[in-house]
Amino acid sequence: MIVTKNLQKAFGDHVVLNGIDETINKGEKVVIIGPSGSGKSTFLRCMNLLEVPTGGEIWFEDNNITDKKTDINKLRCKMGMVFQQFNLFPHLSVLENITLAPVNLGLMTKEEAESKAVELLKRIGLAEKAAAYPNQLSGGQKQRIAIVRALAMNPDVMLFDEPTSALDPEMVGEVLDLMEQLADEGMTMVVVTHEMRFARKVATRILFIDEGKIVEQNTPDEFFDNPTHPRLKEFLSKIL
Amino acid sequence: MKDELITRHEKLGGTKLEKFYSWLNSIYQSYYNAIVPEKRYLLYLDGIKITILISLLAIALGVVIGVIVAVVKVSANNSKMKWLSKICNLYTTVVRGTPLVIQLLIIYNLVFNSRSTNAIIVGAVCFGFNSGAYVAEIIRAGIESIDRGQMEAGRSLGLNHVKTMRLIILPQAIKNILPALGNEFIVLIKETSVASYISVVDLTAAAHLVASRTYDILPPLIIIALCYLIMTMGLTKILSIFERRLARGDRH
């Protein structure tokens, strides 16, 4: 579904991604972990071109998204993204946050979008917050609504960029539970996170990125129980 | 003999009061002359109409230019846009770096020499053109005050750059820049007082017209100063109501 070929990204002289070849297939739940500054967030943000790579190619559903002629806006509709800082639109109500994109892109009528939004809000138990504004919500509620906002576009893949890192500890659970539900429903997911328990439980594959390269990848059990690369061993010994 | 008479007169008392009354009377007379005879108040009223008309047209034009220039400036990231952005930079530099009156005269003579044109429209276009440069800088600062994540969130949902600007960034930026923008509008209203340079009969020109009849410039000047004050205070009031309404949406 997503293929990267020799993906490179540099900010000036600072090389962040140093040749990443990776294929993410439909239905996979790929968790990316790595020390800070390793390039894991940049890798994720390249997948929907929020960061423009300085070299290599990215293919999404047989479209080369690094090709200038590709209509990236159309492809982004199929790739939901969830941010560390939620990035809800503070001047719009929860309902408007969710319906804004589908309505303005002409994908749904206002009525369709609203009924879909209400349905999604009901699912996460926040239907009564439809008219509320983002600054009246807790961090966990904001992030769950940000997830719902992305889901309202009916994406084929969901990208999560450290979705729980900005949350108070007691709110992490509700967000991870929702992500786990999504995973159980078969959503293709790419998740950058520090939540190792979530990675172990939900991931089908874990990538370890260090200094702009994937140095090791494996199934969760093997990844945590039998790490081979010394850098990964060191990393796991520090955090587990 | 004469001095003696005056002192005697003053001793009788009430002279100071009399003087005061005659002073008051002369003031009353000069303001009466500046307003009532020959229906001179109509001159002020027409002047106010022209001033408001020019200001409104100029504010509308200034905002349109300002938004476009600001969006181009903050969005310039590829080579095609860089070229546009350079033009916008030139525009703000020239407009902010030269006196308004000179701009007004240049634009007026450029247009007026070729064909007879409505001076009011020329004035409005010139003030709008001038104001646009200041408005652009205000809006640019407002756009840059919005967190980068807002643009990213909009783009990640498939909205293009312009739509994200229009639906997400600008509505938030407006709230931050409303006080500065209101200030610019007030400056603009006051600056239109130089419109008489291009023979527009605005409020300031009306004062000169009245003075040319009464040979007394001060009363009409005080009168139009009050008119300007009332107009700017009215605008301030409207803007603060608007601001409060936006803030209420915030707290909801």
Nearest to A165 by CA among A202, A141, A194: A194
- Express each pLDDT in A20-50 by its tens digit: 999 999 999 999 999 988 999 999 999 999 9
Q: What pTM value is reported for the model?
A: 0.80
Which one-letter DSSP state was computed for residue B169?
I
Q: Which residues in chain A are closer than 8 Å to B167, comparing Cβ atoms?
A: 100, 104
User: B250 and A73 in contact by Cβ < 8 A?
Assistant: no
B97 Cβ under 8 Å from any chain A Cβ:
no
Radius of gyration for chain A, computed over Cα atoms and rounded to the nearest angstrom: 18
User: B168 and A89 in contact by Cβ < 8 A?
Assistant: yes
SS3 B118: coil
Q: Is B27 a member of any domain?
A: no
User: A87 and B152 in contact by Cβ < 8 A?
Assistant: yes
Q: Is B5 a member of any domain?
A: no
At A74 the pLDDT is 92
| Range with lowest mean pLDDT among A116-125, B16-25, B113-122 | B113-122
Q: Is B22 a member of any domain?
A: no
What's the structural domain count of chain B?
1
Are A217 and A229 in contact by the 8 Å Cβ rule? The answer is no
User: B156 and A104 in contact by Cβ < 8 A?
Assistant: no
**Chain A closest-CA separation from residue B168 CA (Å):** 7
Percent of chain B with pLDDT over 90: 46
- Please list, in sequence order, all residues whose beta carbon lies within 8 angstroms of the beta carbon of residue B89, skipping any fewer than 6 positions away: B73
Longest dimension (CA), chain A: 55
Strand order in the sheet with A79-82: A79-82, A157-161, A188-192, A29-33, A205-210, A213-218
CATH number at residue B213: 1.10.3720.10
SS3 A8: strand
- Gap between the Cα atoms of B9 and B18, Å rounded: 11
Are B46 and B209 in contact by the 8 Å Cβ rule? The answer is no
**Who among A80, A87, A149 is closest to B149 (CB)?**
A87
Task: For A162, list phi and psi in degrees, rounded to 5.
Answer: 45, 60
- Express each pLDDT in A135-193 by its tens digit: 999 999 999 999 999 999 999 999 999 999 999 999 999 999 999 999 999 999 999 99
Asked if the model's pLDDT at residue B168 lies above 90, the reply is yes
- Express each pLDDT in B70-111 by its tens digit: 988 888 766 677 888 889 999 999 999 999 999 988 888 887
- Gap between the Cα atoms of A152 and A29, Å rounded: 20
At B252 the pLDDT is 44
Q: Is B227 a member of any domain?
A: yes
B109 Cβ under 8 Å from any chain A Cβ:
no
Q: What is the mean pLDDT of chain B?
A: 86
At B158 the pLDDT is 94
Q: Which residue of A has its CA nearest to B247?
A: A91
Reading the block at residue B247, the tokens are 């803030």
Q: How confident is the model at residue B250 (pLDDT cuts 50, 70, 90)?
A: low
Q: Is B14 a member of any domain?
A: no
Q: How confident is the model at residue B34 (pLDDT cuts 50, 70, 90)?
A: confident
Q: Is B237 a member of any domain?
A: yes
Q: At what angle do helices B218-251 and B203-214 cross, to 10 degrees?
A: 160
Are B73 and B140 in contact by the 8 Å Cβ rule? The answer is yes
Reading the block at residue A234, the tokens are 């060191």
Asked if the model's pLDDT at residue B248 lies above 80, the reply is no
At A36 the pLDDT is 87
User: B157 and A87 in contact by Cβ < 8 A?
Assistant: no
B149 Cβ under 8 Å from any chain A Cβ:
yes
- Rounded average pLDDT over B102-124: 80
B160 Cβ under 8 Å from any chain A Cβ:
yes
Q: Where are the beta strands (DSSP E) in chain A?
A: 2-11, 14-24, 29-33, 55-60, 63-64, 79-82, 157-161, 188-192, 205-210, 213-218
Compare B245 and A217 and report the one with higher pLDDT: A217
**Who among B153, B167, B250 is closest to A87 (CB)?**
B153
Asked if the model's pLDDT at residue B16 lies above 70, the reply is yes
User: B160 and A73 in contact by Cβ < 8 A?
Assistant: yes
Interface test with B, best of A42, A71, A89, A105 (most B CBs within 10 A): A89
At B6 the pLDDT is 60
Which domain covers residue B183, as residue numbers? 44-251
Q: Is B150 a member of any domain?
A: yes
- Express each pLDDT in B44-63 by its tens digit: 888 899 999 999 999 999 99
Q: Which residue of A has its CA nearest to B160?
A: A73
- Gap between the Cα atoms of A81 and A91, Å rounded: 20
Q: Which residue of B has its CA nearest to A85?
A: B149
Exposure string of A192-214, with b = 16+ CB inside 10 Å and e = fewer, is: bbebbebbbebbebbbbbbebbb
Dihedral sign for Cα A62, A65, A69, A70, please: positive
Q: Is B36 a member of any domain?
A: no
Residue B21, class by beta-carbon neighbours within 10 Å (0-12 exposed, 13-18 middle, 19+ buried)?
Answer: exposed
Asked if the model's pLDDT at residue B37 lies above 90, the reply is no
B152 Cβ under 8 Å from any chain A Cβ:
yes
Contacts of A219-224 with C-beta under 8 Å, sequence gap 24+, read: A220/A31, A224/A196, A224/A200
